[in-house]
Chain A
Amino acid sequence: MSTVCDLLVIGAGPAGMAAASTAARLGVSTLLVDEQAALGGQIYRNVESHSNDADGVSAADWQRGAALVREFRASGARHRAGTQVWQLDPAQEGACKIYVTDGTQADVIRARRVLLATGAMERPVPIPGWTLPGVMTVGAAQILYKTGKHVPQAGTWIAGSGPLLWLFAAQALEAGGKIEGILDTAPRSNFAHALRHSMAALRGRAYLERGLALQARVRRAGVPVIKDVAAIEAKGEDRLTTLRFRVGGRWRDVLASTLLLHHGVVPNVHATRSLRAQHRWDGPQRCFVPVVDAWGMTSAEAYAVAGDGAGIVGAEASALRGRLAALESARRLGVIDEQRRDTEAAPIRGDLARHMPVRAFLDQLFAPRASLLAPADEVLVCRCESITAGRIRDAVRLGCAGPNQMKAFTRCGMGPCQARMCGLAAAEIIAHERGVGMEEVGVFNVRPPLKPLSLQELAALPE
């Protein structure tokens, strides 16, 4: 039995919730699907259980998230939780077929328009030993905190760069967690580069003030912060026991039981890639982003994308971009006219203008260190198939011009994660090896299913 709606929103984070609420309020028949059991996405994960976290470093975030959930619940939009999208078909005769599964049986949703709000993921940066148990991402640790109030224990180190790193460190310390030290891998030169954008950034002063406050909080707690760390290695037999790092040209070893890595976030472009929508290389953010117009419309007919999936902007701006994409979707569905769209959009664009200028500054300040993007030959890049950087370079030397021929020669990217973890890193290695830009190298083709699907789920697809 298939479901029908006018607008299907995929992803229940800030962009998806705001988009679905906006569309439903305008009278668009709207369905929101999400793979998680609860609303909130990653940033507001489990938000409905955190409503009484009135104090602390994240209180304002939780309040914003809770407000979005309330707005969504009142909007009349439908919500289908625990729903995994595994294939998006291009629009045909005014409708898109979206294939989903609840883990038991595949199903089809027919929607006139689709709004992708699939958010971001942490940039995977392969380092020696990153597959050892005991090594995980800062985002992963934050999820453990958000869902179960679990905080880092003795022996925990954090390494990398990015706003989330500082936010989580502050959250964890506040909740009684223990952090042995923070290895900041951002090159010193980042600050000078970021200063070029400081005038614009001042318009987003709240972001800067909050960032400084978080860093100050971490320092006050007495956590050592080691700046300008050039290289990190995780060591151990069956799990992490030692952390090695290089700073000022010297290697240091420290005991560690947990290493949390973070190198910023990048758009989750799996869905837009599978549609073969146009993408472009975003130099400052070092990632591919779908090409969209001012309303979030992609080059794939009937598909829009909003939130961090259209380029990293943060939670608040994501919600605003969700609303803009919903307005234009409603217009294209014939529910509102252009004038109404523009009237409703004006204040949203005003808000957005306060959030955007700080981005260029943050992108520069937390830009990943170039040397980390060119791992040594023995470092595993593809975790699923255990393919090293050296194997990728061998393939390039044999004449592989891009990731797809390289994948055929090495199996890099063929495992269950479907190249989510190795895609960007492999492309960086190929680009470096060939001495060309990322735009020219391109990325892996994304094929359905977007998440693995059992044969019986597919077999049960209605005919």
Chain B
Amino acid sequence: MTRETVTVYVDGKPVSVGAGESAAAAALHAGLSYTRTSPVTDEKRAPYCMMGVCFECLMVIDGVPSRQACMVKVAAGMRIERQIGARELG
């Protein structure tokens, strides 16, 4: 398979990942131990299903909160950040 790679920034840290991968996969490869905290209990959570069902991978991507990181394909320069608790209205 193709191993074309792109560089994304996971919580500010540059990571090289396959071009066909998701933002959630990039976060896992970057070694992010959790990707969000629950807005209800503040517990740490991480991607669970990777196919758009569980919504545990909600992250801030390119400044937009609550995106399903497993459903977003990486792009060069993409900023992928943890979402902590309930998001701000902005």
**B49–A136 touching, CB < 8 Å:** yes
Decide if A399 is an interface residue (CB 8 Å cutoff): no
> Nearest Cβ in chain B — how far from A266, in angstroms?
11
Decide if B53 is an interface residue (CB 8 Å cutoff): yes
**A136–B50 touching, CB < 8 Å:** yes
Q: How large is the interface on A (under 10, 10 to 19, 20 to 34, 35 or more residues)?
A: 35 or more
Whole-angstrom CA separation of A31 from B25 in the bound complex: 30
Decide if B17 is an interface residue (CB 8 Å cutoff): yes
Residues of B within 8 A of A180 (CB): none
**B58–A416 touching, CB < 8 Å:** yes
Residues of B within 8 A of A385 (CB): 40
Chief secondary structure at chain A's binding surface: loop
Whole-angstrom CA separation of A49 from B52 in the bound complex: 21
**B46–A136 touching, CB < 8 Å:** yes
B29 contact from A130, A133, A150, Cβ within 8 A: A150
Whole-angstrom CA separation of A49 from B18 in the bound complex: 12
User: Which chain B residues numbered 40 to 72 have a C-beta less than 8 Å away from chain A?
Assistant: 40-41, 43-56, 58, 66, 68, 70-71
**B49–A148 touching, CB < 8 Å:** no
Residues of A within 8 A of B47 (CB): 136, 140
A136 contact from B48, B55, B71, Cβ within 8 A: B48
> Nearest Cβ in chain A — how far from B84, in angstroms?
14
> Nearest Cβ in chain A — how far from B80, in angstroms?
15
Whose C-beta in chain B lies nearest to the C-beta of A417?
B55
Whole-angstrom CA separation of A415 from B53 in the bound complex: 12
Decide if A93 is an interface residue (CB 8 Å cutoff): no
Q: How large is the interface on B (under 10, 10 to 19, 20 to 34, 35 or more residues)?
A: 35 or more
**A49–B1 touching, CB < 8 Å:** yes
User: Which chain A residues numbered 234 to 277 have a C-beta less than 8 Å away from chain B?
Assistant: 238-239, 268
User: Interface 1/0s, chain B 2-24, versus A by CB < 8 A?
Assistant: 10000000000000011011100
Residues of B within 8 A of A42 (CB): 51
Whole-angstrom CA separation of A134 from B56 in the bound complex: 12
Decide if A4 is an interface residue (CB 8 Å cutoff): no
> Nearest Cβ in chain B — how far from A116, in angstroms?
16
Given A150-B25, A238-B33, A386-B43, A140–B52 Cβ distance below 8 Å?
A: no
Whose C-beta in chain B lies nearest to the C-beta of A238?
B44
Whose C-beta in chain B lies nearest to the C-beta of A240?
B46
**B1–A415 touching, CB < 8 Å:** no
Whose C-beta in chain B lies nearest to the C-beta of A236?
B44
B66 contact from A37, A38, A239, A416, Cβ within 8 A: A416
Residues of A within 8 A of B20 (CB): 38, 46, 49, 147-148
**B21–A386 touching, CB < 8 Å:** no
Residues of B within 8 A of A195 (CB): none
Residues of A within 8 A of B54 (CB): 124, 383, 417, 420-421
**A137–B1 touching, CB < 8 Å:** no
Decide if B78 is an interface residue (CB 8 Å cutoff): no
> Nearest Cβ in chain A — how far from B88, in angstroms?
15
> Nearest Cβ in chain B — how far from A32, in angstroms?
17
Residues of B within 8 A of A137 (CB): 48-50
**B71–A35 touching, CB < 8 Å:** yes
Interface centre among B34, B44, B47, B51 (most CB of A within 10 A): B51
Residues of A within 8 A of B50 (CB): 136-137, 139-140, 143-144
User: Interface 1/0s, chain A 122-153, versus B by CB < 8 A?
Assistant: 10100000111111110110011001111000
Decide if A300 is an interface residue (CB 8 Å cutoff): no
Whole-angstrom CA separation of A384 from B58 in the bound complex: 11
Whose C-beta in chain B lies nearest to the C-beta of A270?
B53
User: Interface 1/0s, chain A 176-190, versus B by CB < 8 A?
Assistant: 000000000000000
Name 18 A/B residue pairs within 8 A (Cβ), A-sorted.
Answer: A35-B71, A46-B20, A49-B1, A50-B1, A122-B49, A124-B54, A131-B43, A133-B44, A137-B49, A139-B50, A140-B47, A144-B50, A149-B18, A384-B55, A416-B58, A417-B53, A420-B54, A451-B52
- Show the binding face of B for A, using Cβ within 8 Å: 1-2, 17-18, 20-22, 25, 28-29, 33-35, 38, 40-41, 43-56, 58, 66, 68, 70-71, 73
- Show the binding face of A for B, using Cβ within 8 Å: 35-38, 42, 46, 49-50, 52-53, 121-122, 124, 130-137, 139-140, 143-144, 147-150, 238-239, 268, 383-386, 415-417, 420-421, 451-452
Question: Would you list the 9 A-B pairs with minimal beta carbon distance, nearest first?
Answer: A133-B46, A140-B50, A417-B55, A49-B1, A416-B55, A143-B50, A133-B34, A386-B40, A148-B18
